[in-house]
Amino acid sequence: MANKGEAGGAALRLEKVERHYGDGESRLSILTGASLVLSPGEVVALVAPSGAGKSTLLHIAGLLDKPDSGEVYIGGREAGSLTDAERTEMRRLHIGFVYQFHHLLPEFTALENVMMPQLIRGLDRKEAAARAEQLLAYMRLGERVKHRPSELSGGEQQRVAIARAVANAPHVLLADEPTGNLDPKTSRYVFEALTALVRASDVAALIVTHNMDLASKMDRRITLSGGKIVEV
């Protein structure tokens, strides 16, 4: 896997991020000075109860939402001063997303699904196909590249989704309960594949999970307490 040459700096940095909803007495503070640094190749678990602000944090880290104050840096680049078009471009090129449901395009094969982000980026079709085949082989799906999502198991679908998320060699991978729909054995297998790919690709991964067994296998565990990020 290609190294993006970011080993010397943070892949993701949040500095004193705040996010509030409403005004006056009805104001709800979700994040109150949340700070976080993720290094390339690092896998970090985010474990917190429902309503603590996990989704808000992921949306801000993924540039899907803007903080009321504070700053987000992706690969050392400040995101707050970017235009909407520049934020969209940064999301497409430097941030990968994996969700509880795979969200694969049903009419396309596994290979085509992983090619898609690369084609949107402007890569040559042959080059995109070669990269997609490499990623799917790494995820032990080399024999399934021509299969559509409906012909794949749940674990296979999720591994294709992970390969697609890192197809453009992003700085950051954000995963929201990526094994939440899978049985325990398949969850472990998918998690091991995800972790291996993250380390090989030098991506920084922030993974929301309620599975404490999987969380214990990550490099660090963090939670949200009083709107701040704290180490567990």
Mean pLDDT of 50-78: 91
Query: For residue 7, what pLDDT band results from cuts at 50, 70 and 90?
Result: very low
Q: How far apart are CA 19 and CA 57, in angstroms?
A: 9
pLDDT reported for residue 42: 93
pLDDT reported for residue 104: 93
Per-residue pLDDT tens digits for 151-198: 999 989 989 999 999 998 899 999 988 888 788 888 888 888 888 888
Q: Which residue has the higher pLDDT, 26 or 14?
A: 14
DSSP code per residue over the chain: ----S-TTS-SEEEEEEEEEES-GGG-EEEEEEEEEEE-TT-EEEE---TTSSHHHHHHHHTTSS--SEEEEEETTEE-TT--HHHHHHHHHHHEEEE-SS----TTS-HHHHHHHHHHHHT--HHHHHHHHHHHHHHTT-GGGTT--GGGS-HHHHHHHHHHHHTTT--SEEEEESTTTTS-HHHHHHHHHHHHHHHHHHT-EEEEE-S-HHHHTTSSEEEEEETTEEEE-
- pLDDT at position 105 over 60: yes
pLDDT reported for residue 4: 44
- As a whole-number percent, the residues of the chain with pLDDT over 90 amount to 56
Any residues with CB less than 8 A from the CB of 70 and at least 6 apart, and which? 14, 15, 16, 17, 18, 33, 34, 35
Per-residue pLDDT tens digits for 116-160: 999 998 899 999 999 999 999 988 899 999 999 999 999 899 899
- pLDDT at position 6 over 80: no
- pLDDT at position 73 over 90: yes
pLDDT reported for residue 1: 47
User: What is the number of other CB atoms lying within 10 angstroms of the CB of residue 20?
Assistant: 15
Q: Which residue has the higher pLDDT, 142 or 22?
A: 142
Q: Which residue has the tokens 């009805």?
A: 26
pLDDT reported for residue 8: 44
Please give the CATH topology (third level) of the domain spanning 12-231. Answer: Rossmann fold (3.40.50)
Locate the domains of the chain by residue range.
12-231
